[in-house]
Amino acid sequence: MAVAARTETFLDEWRRKGEPEACLGCHSPSGADGVICTDCHGANGHPYPVPQVPRVCARCHDAPGEITLQGFLDSPAARRGEDCLTCHLEEGGNSHDFRGPTRPGFLQGIATLRVAFRRDAEGGSALLQIRHRAGHALPGGTTGRSVWLLVEQRDTQGRKLDSRRYRFGWLHSASAGWRQNTLPPGTGRVVEVPLHEAAGMIRAKLVYRFRAGGLDEVDPEQVVLVEMARSVPTRAERER
């Protein structure tokens, strides 16, 4: 947070959008390289009062293009009485060492992928269930972050038959503007993929990306959240 206005990821996305001044209201509220003490604690000086979490977080994390706090308020984590610092600050700590997805290992075990197969008149489909244990929608953060589900089907000889990509995060179109398509907390999401008639194996992985743009753009910080591979039942097996 202390360098929120000068990270490569922020600067790249900010420049793509034409360097709007509005972004700096959260990334540099006081004109510094990022968030400073008074931005969260107020300007009365030491000893600073304890900030009211999660209300103080809403100033930036419910800004336009950000629904992190909205998602948290309707999450299982909130119903358990947790708050932002339960996950984002060292347990029992009184420091300012906030942990987030850029911290190595922070996203480990955050998501699961399961698959079930369904028979239908057209041959069948694979139902991929995505669940996560974040206390808010995934990905949190701004419009540039995304989670991608990559699904590949191969035959019994290992030859690729089909490849599909599904993006979760903020979507933009010239006609409709911005629309959020994140993975909600608690409920999960199911993606249905038509099965190729010769499919013998289905592989899937979930990838968390920080950089705006498609998968062809390099993102050195991207994290593979989970991978899986399952044999596809034959048509006879699915009809039993």
Condensed to tens digits (0 to 9), the pLDDT of residues 82-120 reads: 999 899 987 655 677 888 998 999 999 999 999 999 877
Residue 50 phi, psi (nearest 5): -70, 125
Task: Assign domain 111-239 one CATH number from 2.40.50, 1.25.40, 2.40.10, 2.60.40.
Answer: 2.60.40
**Using CA of residue 239, residue 193, residue 154, residue 226, what is the dihedral sign?**
negative
**pLDDT tens for residues 51-92?**
888 888 888 888 766 788 888 988 999 999 999 989 998 765
**pLDDT tens for residues 149-187?**
999 999 999 999 999 999 999 887 778 777 889 999 988
Give the residue from 50, 84, 82, 214 showing the smallest Cα distance to 148.
Answer: 214
pLDDT of residue 92: 55
pLDDT of residue 101: 92
pLDDT of residue 235: 65
Name the token pair of 145: 């972050």
SS3 (DSSP) at 103: coil
What's this model's pTM, rounded to 2 decimal places? 0.87
Q: Identify the band that residue 237 occupies on the pLDDT scale cut at 50, 70 and 90.
A: low
Asked if the model's pLDDT at residue 210 lies above 70, the reply is yes
CA–CA distance, 171 with 17 (Å, rounded to integer): 14
Mean per-residue pLDDT over the chain, rounded = 89
Least confident of 196-200, 219-223, 234-238: 234-238
Query: Domain segments of the chain: what residues?
Result: 8-88, 111-239
Q: Identify the band that residue 16 occupies on the pLDDT scale cut at 50, 70 and 90.
A: confident
